[in-house]
Amino acid sequence: MAVGLESPPPLAPVTGVRLAAAAAGIKKDGALDLALLELAPGSQVAALFTRNAFCAAPVILARRHLQRTAPRYLLVNSGNANAGTGEQGLADARACCQAVARAAGCAPEAVLPFSTGVIGEPLPLAALTGAIPDLVRTLDADGWLAAARAIMTTDTVPKGASRRFELDGRPVTLTGIAKGAGMIRPDMATMLVFLATDAALAPAQLHACLQDAVARTFHCITVDGDTSTNDACVLAATGGSGVAVPAGSAAQRRFQEELEALCGELARAVVRDGEGATKFITVEVRGGRTEAECRQVAFAVAESPLVKTACFAGDPNWGRILAAVGRAGLPQLDIAAVRIHLGQVCLVRDGGRAPEYEEAQGAAAMAGPEIHIRIELGRGQACTRIWTCDLSYDYVRINAEYRT
């Protein structure tokens, strides 16, 4: 059960975007498993993809298509990753793009394919392509939530959010959906994320906005330390509102703030819905020499199985946090300068247990569904914040039974 997370309310339509979802029979339970997003002509698209060397066939093909023409359609299937499938996987991904092209009347290169699910299994091509004509016929501006459901795998709730704001006194909409619950440790963006705005931005400007937002949000989460073969994050700007965003302007700065806020909401939703999660954990590291070393410490703590299982049990076993900080690999770390807190409770100071600390205080700080771990390194001014979740019995069960 997701930690403090429910299915989102209806999402705001974005002028120039239509969506549809279908149950193509890829998933065994008959759930929605195929989504199509249509972008108005003239839309600009920026995308980030996984750096996993075994990147999936749709990732390879989407990168190629982005270099050739402006995307008009995004096709997303769940239940099958089409990864580790060699040349046949690439051929199947191309066939999917060709099927959309025939039904929608566009070039195959104007279609970007995305897949998520089990790795190493051939794509059920006939079922997938057979559903595409109906998807094209049922495209609708209000199809965001159905699409969010169609891209889910082990997610327990669909993830989506919208923001409406003004740029230079004129209304703009930004809406996004995401999927992801396991195999979460971003190395570019994360999982599958699709964002769209009706503002108009130039291609380089759009890409820069996406990179900056991802660095501060999706790059700051981890569920289990694994980077997927299929990760992708896409931002489309249709210009349908008629509001142009000049590069370097106050309007761009406001847009960047709203984009980062939306991405942050979706990133935290992924962690809250982490496989088997019962606790939402914030790991904050302050006082580092650089942000990079703060991240090094934060991820060492956030991805420690011992820290994560202690959080699941509500056990303030602070020695596990101390050990993770110590093995993070910072050169010349002065342990006497390090402070470790659970919430407002100081656990560690001057190289050991804080004299005033009592076990009951630590237990109280870990009793609720949200846990805040704060680490002061005492060696500089840099800081960072990472979001993660606990490691429960259900995480093991979900992944042990994933293919059965």
Percent above pLDDT 90 for the chain: 89
Q: How many residues in total does the chain contain?
A: 404
pLDDT tens, position by position, 311-344:
999 999 999 999 999 999 999 999 999 999 999 9
b (16+ CB within 10 A) / e for 252-274: bebbbebbbebbbbbbbbbbbbb
Residue 398, pLDDT score: 85
Of the candidate ranges 1-5, 81-85, 391-395, the one whose mean pLDDT is the lowest: 1-5
Residues 282-296, mean pLDDT to the nearest whole number: 98
Integer Rg of the chain from CA: 22
Contact 79, 38 (CB under 8 A): no
Whether residue 303 has pLDDT greater than 60: yes
CA 281, CA 388: separation in Å to the nearest integer? 5
Specify the CATH superfamily of domain 280-400.
Answer: ArgJ beta chain, C-terminal domain (3.10.20.340)
Q: Where in the chain is the domain with CATH 3.10.20.340?
A: 280-400
Q: Tell me whether residue 156 is exposed, middle or buried, using C-beta atoms within 10 angstroms of its C-beta: 0 to 12, 13 to 18, 19 or more.
A: middle
Pairing relationship of beta strands 159-167 and 232-237 according to DSSP bridges: unpaired
Check whether 404 has a pLDDT greater than 80: no
- pTM of the model as a whole: 0.95
Q: Which of 83, 65, 85 is nearest to 74 (CA)?
A: 65
17-272 CATH choice from 3.40.50.300, 3.60.70.12, 3.90.1720.10, 3.30.450.20 = 3.60.70.12
What pLDDT was estimated at residue 399? 86
Q: Where are the beta strands (DSSP E) in 241-378?
A: 280-288, 339-342, 345-349, 352-353, 370-376
To the query of whether residue 190 is one of the catalytic residues in this protein, the response is yes
Predicted local distance difference test score (pLDDT) of residue 224: 85
pLDDT-derived band of residue 222, with 50, 70 and 90 as boundaries? Answer: very high
Mean pLDDT of 180-209: 87
- At 188 the pLDDT is 59
- C-alpha 63/C-alpha 80 separation (Å) is 19
State the number of CA atoms in the 13 A half-sphere of 173 facing the CB: 18
User: pLDDT tens, 100-147?
Assistant: 999 999 999 999 999 999 999 999 999 999 999 999 999 999 999 999
User: Is the pLDDT assigned to residue 189 strictly greater than 60?
Assistant: no
* Positions of CATH 3.60.70.12 in the chain: 17-272
Asked whether residue 357 carries a pLDDT value surpassing 90, the answer given is: yes
- pLDDT (tens digit per residue) in 230-284: 889 999 999 999 999 999 999 999 999 999 999 999 999 999 999 999 999 999 9
**C-alpha distances out from residue 71 to 23, 113, 137, Å:** 24, 10, 19
CA-based nearest residue to 254, from 169, 160, 147, 381: 169
pLDDT at 52 over 90: no
Average pLDDT, the chain: 95
Per-residue pLDDT at 100? 98
Catalytic residue among 154, 175, 190, 282: 190
